[in-house]
Chains A and B, each alone.
Chain A
């Protein structure tokens, strides 16, 4: 029990520090583990148990995130970005490692470890910044999961369960069998499991039984735990069961994750200077190679313009918890030395710690200056007195047409190439670029416009726009009341689309009220009397008092 308690303290301390300095917790958990191993109070059996269970739960949780909820275009972009990143980084990593004098096997491990980007860090950052539903957010999530799949499927081949040519064929066959099983389970059994909704304990235990069953099966097929656990998660990753499971699984997974990373840290040796140097070199490689690669591909595929591509690239520039697991497996199999494992761990710590900083607004805008193509326009700059529409999307096209029909000069700014293509076909002057980029606003001659209508998503970008376009009436589409207030303070005119959405619901209710929805007879009378005497208003106090007595006491 003392060992478990110690691991938990280490984890707790790491979480506090992570909160204080705004860094992902994983690197600090590793460091906590390093510190704890110095005390000598952690028994090897406990560490082993923590590592095994941690790996199983971590990959199980990752596997449950695998759901094919993407559009065709996004899937293509994801595939290209993901595959290219894997291939290039793996080759580059292995090549550099080979050049530095590592053996073939060790270089392969290093290459594979450098490939994966961190699902935990990436998704957490996207969620906390509420960017997970933006197109680049969806791309990043897709790429992360794709990488997980590939790396996990490649792991058995690298660790070589059987060895030799026949061994590799055997491994591939084993993976195929397990995959087929997981796929069938997901197709036929998981939909039935949705019946367990409401039985929280049953849902959890059935899922855990699935996890351990697959893990044991994987063991029987001479595949590592990672493959079994991941495929178990995949087998259960189907709506609605997956969503129902998430709230039950998360605490268990968090518990084992905390213990896992701390225990892992205990296996890392205190780094020597050359190891530190190597770690910095590989970290630079990961960051330096990933971002330009992602930006280049995104432009090629025509999926994004500069800024989201840059943000996606930076968000993918770190190594992963999977890298740590690969290192661990390699070290336990005797394929790599503890020194190499330490280097991999250090690279992970460095790159994960840097990610929040790299993806911050300031850094992104600084790097944007290096981008060759920020504002792409094929029409001459507008003369003035025109209407600028920032971010139209497909939803905004009818509005653009209406504006043109009323005889206005319109310039549309959007970063979606499909939208730009359609606009150009219709001979509408448009600029492809990020609507909050000053260069783009310059190209649109926004300061001489008659009116600017902004459907830009991020509140901070809208504020920047208002600063730039003083003197021009600016209509800004916002959702939250607080954002509307801030827009008003800076002289803009907010358009609350939450209000519009509410009105749409009330109109529907008026037109087709569901029979199950009850109305209190008191207010029905009020409304009837209000209709009869249009001048008088129904008394709010009576309805308010009848409702206030039904308010639940606090804390119940």
Chain B
């Protein structure tokens, strides 16, 4: 067991990925770029690692899980929330960009099939990169953030269809038009069947099953994953792409309540597997082959970096979106997608494109993602400067909301974690005293009937605390009887400079919490004894 190939390979891959990630953070590049560069170093540059069967399998699982995650995010609320603007703008953007990409590729001398792949590669923007950047900059709830996510979701649906079509074409091999049409027909029939199965399950079987399992998070998690793989197997049997099955499985689960928790659980798994995928992709890239078509790569990258955002910036105001929002949204969408690579890999496997084109698409992806991430970093300032200089006038009227994001918090509120009896009492009393309170608990049932704002989430996650506005809060209170979480909350409150009041439910915990600089400790047992004494006094037992 000590001489196992998978451990050796994974050690190289994961270490390189980790090192790459840390470097990328330092220069503010997205991790995807770092992983591929790490792969380039491990593979073509030093020849240390070759992609073996085990790593290959992990990569495949990674892609399936990514699409599962994307599907999970696609709850009906989200879709309704985004509205027709995103759908129309998204569809328009896809058509225009694909046409433009195809035209440019043909001009550069590529065959129709190759140009078609390039058009596909160029059209989609990276859901993973954009969402991560938005989250990192706290702009997920901003108008341009939601618009970008909306367009990306529309793209994801189209990607799923593209994958199906590809599977249909690939399945029948390089044969005549009749065979291709038959293949496509079979693929579409299969897709419909898959959709029906997913819909029926989401309606009847899944809600009951998950409600029953709800208490055990581990069971829900394992079941969600096996549901995903069930549909993966079904898709495989129907000659559809594995990814489509995973996507359908995710969408089916997205309609269930509390899917945010599931998303949070699947995320680390996706992070790990996807890192392996991108590093192994980098290992398989052939920069030498791409160097041959350097001119084409540069031209296409420029199209993606400048042309695609421009399309969006010009389209959105037609639907009534303000100038600055359109600008910001366009800027966020100026890169190619992880699906560009996935589609290209599938194309290679189906014999439709060659290795050189795969490498070209890979290099283009690296370049556009890297550059656009840096541009986005400067986006805010660039946007304001452009608006001030009146450059955005031709795009449309100025935004009614102004530069401030519409739901900014004034801050100074009290965050109360844990809605047990103590938490509920505190929330009520603080509200009575005129404070702004946000009540947090993992269990939505405990949040009913409270006189303040509530949030059903796990306070251990830093993203949750950020969403609760910890940085601007006036006070953090934890009423939990969980030692570890309390310590972590105290630590994070101190790091954010917010005073913390922690429930020390056992005398042994007092010292550690004091060391963490807690402003006030509720040593409930001591208080309980004092209260007992009061009761005894009332009963006349003591004076």
Contact = CB atoms under 8 A, between A and B. Distances in A.
Interface string B204-236: 000000001100101101110110011011001
A89 interface: no
A516 B473 contact: yes
Contact of B2 (A224, A254, A473, A555): A224
A481 B421 contact: yes
Given A204-B271, A329-B1, A216 B7 contact: yes
A52 B7 contact: yes
B535 interface: yes
A325 B434 CA distance: 58
Given A1-B242, A202-B21, A243-B487, A547 B431 contact: yes
A200 interface: yes
B1 A224 contact: yes
B31 interface: yes
Given A16-B223, A199-B25, A247-B458, A544 B451 contact: yes
A332 B528 contact: no
A502 B426 contact: yes
Interface stretch (B12-20, B322-330, B339-347, B371-379): B12-20
A208 B532 CA distance: 50
A399 interface: yes
Contact of B539 (A5, A473, A550): A473
B431 A1 contact: no
A365 interface: no
B57 interface: yes
B355 interface: no
Interface of chain A, main secondary structure? helix
Contacts of B431: 543, 547
B393 interface: no
Most chain B beta-carbon contacts within 10 A, residue among A197, A250, A509:
A509
Given A497-B525, A514-B474, A543-B431, A9 B6 contact: no
Interface stretch (A144-152, A304-312, A366-374, A401-409): A401-409
Contacts of A526: 434
Nearest to B426: A502
B526 to A, nearest CB: 6
B219 A16 contact: yes
A218 interface: yes
Interface string B53-66: 11001001100100
Contact of A499 (B57, B212, B475, B531): B531
Contacts of A398: 529
Given A399-B533, A500-B531, A519 B420 contact: no
B531 A547 contact: no
Interface string A110-121: 000000000000
B14 A209 contact: yes
A461 interface: no
B181 interface: no
A51 B3 CA distance: 14
A67 B509 CA distance: 15
A213 B230 contact: no
A248 B275 CA distance: 15
A449 to B, nearest CB: 11
B265 interface: yes
Interface stretch (B41-49, B195-203, B300-308, B408-416): B408-416
Nearest to B525: A395
Contact of B522 (A200, A204, A501): A501
A422 to B, nearest CB: 15
Interface in B30-83: 31, 53-54, 57, 60-61, 64, 75, 77
B222 A200 contact: no
B61 A1 contact: yes
Interface in A162-194: none
A246 B488 CA distance: 11
Interface string B504-539: 011110001000000110111111111111011001
B445 interface: no
A479 B421 contact: yes
A219 B222 contact: no
Interface in A6-21: 8-9, 11-12, 15-16, 18-19
Contacts of B7: 52, 56, 212, 215-216, 219, 225
B268 interface: yes
B236 A403 contact: no
A24 to B, nearest CB: 11
Interface in A380-428: 387, 393-396, 398-399, 402-403, 405-406, 408
A287 B462 CA distance: 43
B453 interface: yes
Contact of B462 (A198, A450, A520, A555): A198
Interface string B420-459: 1110111001011111100000000000000111110010
B542 A9 contact: no
Interface in A247-263: 247-252, 254-255, 258
Given A225-B2, A243-B484, A19 B213 contact: yes
Interface stretch (B117-125, B155-163, B359-367, B492-500): B492-500
B15 A517 contact: no
Contacts of A505: 426, 477, 501, 520, 522
Contacts of B522: 501-502, 504-505
A480 interface: yes
A49 B455 contact: no
B269 A516 contact: no
A498 B420 contact: yes
Contact of A243 (B57, B475, B488): B488
A477 B528 contact: yes
Most chain B beta-carbon contacts within 10 A, residue among A225, A405, A477, A544:
A477
Most chain A beta-carbon contacts within 10 A, residue among B10, B434, B485, B512:
B434
A502 B429 contact: yes
Interface string A41-55: 000011011001101
A366 B492 CA distance: 47
Nearest to A210: B18
Contacts of A395: 507, 525-526, 529
B528 A133 contact: no
B488 A480 contact: no
Contacts of B543: 406
A240 interface: yes
B461 interface: yes
A50 to B, nearest CB: 10
A445 interface: no
B267 interface: yes
Contacts of A543: 431-432, 434
A394 B414 CA distance: 33
Contacts of A2: 233, 236
Given A19-B216, A402-B542, A403-B536, A8 B222 contact: yes
B11 interface: yes
B22 interface: yes
A451 interface: yes
A308 B218 CA distance: 29
19 contacts: A1-B233, A1-B236, A9-B226, A19-B213, A55-B1, A200-B463, A215-B11, A216-B8, A239-B491, A255-B225, A399-B533, A405-B542, A475-B535, A477-B532, A495-B528, A501-B522, A502-B429, A505-B520, A523-B433
For the complex of A and B, list the 6 residue pairs with the smallest distance between their C-beta atoms, beginning with the closest.
Answer: A523-B434, A518-B412, A497-B528, A517-B474, A500-B527, A5-B229
Interface of A: 1-2, 4-5, 8-9, 11-12, 15-16, 18-19, 25, 45-46, 48-49, 52-53, 55-56, 69, 71, 130, 133, 197-202, 204-206, 208-209, 212-213, 215-216, 218-219, 222-225, 239-240, 243-244, 246-252, 254-255, 258, 329, 332, 387, 393-396, 398-399, 402-403, 405-406, 408, 450-451, 453, 455, 473, 475, 477, 479-481, 493, 495-506, 508-509, 514, 516-520, 522-524, 526-527, 543-544, 547, 550-552, 555-556
Given A4-B61, A505-B522, 5 more contacts: A5-B233, A201-B271, A209-B15, A209-B17, A552-B454
